[in-house]
């Protein structure tokens, strides 16, 4: 099984086999993996973990509808792939199969009516932002975001991958291009 064929498993909602983003993966390879229906916006600059990145957003007709590909400025290989609202097969069954996370971070993302915790399995190259509804809301937990990156240490995740606090919701859509 090739490293990129694992992205197929991620898109199907199976996270357990993921072992980190391999080196040398390009945005073009990610786009090819997403299929011909993926639309692509031109890359834009963003700062993350005190580093400058070019971020390409790819859209799909089915979940995850938005996939962001982060390439550090001056490089050609992908450092981080983010999937917004990905499909995760049996979240409550998947979490124990992943084992204990290396880190659980709060105040990284915002969701109305919920506390969001980022569960990070740094040695797997995997981060899940999970919205946990406030009591007494009976709604199930849901995945807001999935981060894929090269397997690393918890310390390196915090200094090289973590996006930091995002306490305010995005209330204005990005302008049309």
The Cα 137–Cα 117 span in angstroms is 17
pLDDT given at position 6: 64
> Mind listing the pLDDT tens digit for each residue in 78-125?
999 999 999 998 999 999 999 999 999 998 888 888 999 999 999 999
Question: Residue 114: helix, strand or coil by DSSP?
Answer: strand
Question: Residue 18: helix, strand or coil by DSSP?
Answer: coil
> Mind listing the pLDDT tens digit for each residue in 19-71?
999 999 999 999 888 887 778 888 999 999 889 999 999 998 889 999 999 99
Least confident span in 1-10, 105-114, 153-162 = 1-10
CB 7 within 8 Å of CB 69? no
Question: Residue 40: helix, strand or coil by DSSP?
Answer: strand
The Cα 4–Cα 10 span in angstroms is 10
CB 149 within 8 Å of CB 161? yes
Alpha carbon distance, N-terminus to C-terminus of the chain:
38
Residue position matching structure tokens 């639309």: 39
Residue length of the chain: 177
């Amino acid at each position: 099984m090739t490293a990129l064929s694992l992205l197929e498993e991620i898109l199907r909602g199976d996270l357990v086999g993921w072992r980190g983003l391999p080196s040398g993966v390009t945005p073009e390879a990610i786009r090819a993996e997403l299929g011909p229906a993926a639309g692509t916006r031109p890359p834009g600059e963003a700062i993350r973990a005190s580093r400058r990145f070019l971020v390409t957003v790819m859209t799909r007709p089915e979940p995850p509808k938005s996939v962001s590909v982060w390439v550090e400025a001056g490089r050609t290989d992908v450092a981080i792939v983010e999937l917004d609202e990905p499909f995760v097969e049996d979240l409550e069954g998947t979490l124990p199969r992943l084992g204990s996370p290396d880190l659980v971070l709060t105040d990284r993302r915002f969701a109305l009516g919920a506390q969001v915790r980022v569960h990070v399995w740094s040695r797997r190259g995997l981060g899940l932002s999970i919205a946990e509804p406030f009591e007494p809301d009976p709604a199930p937990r849901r995945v807001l975001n999935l981060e894929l990156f090269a397997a690393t240490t918890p310390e390196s995740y915090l200094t090289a991958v973590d996006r930091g606090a995002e306490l305010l919701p995005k209330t204005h859509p990005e302008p049309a291009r």
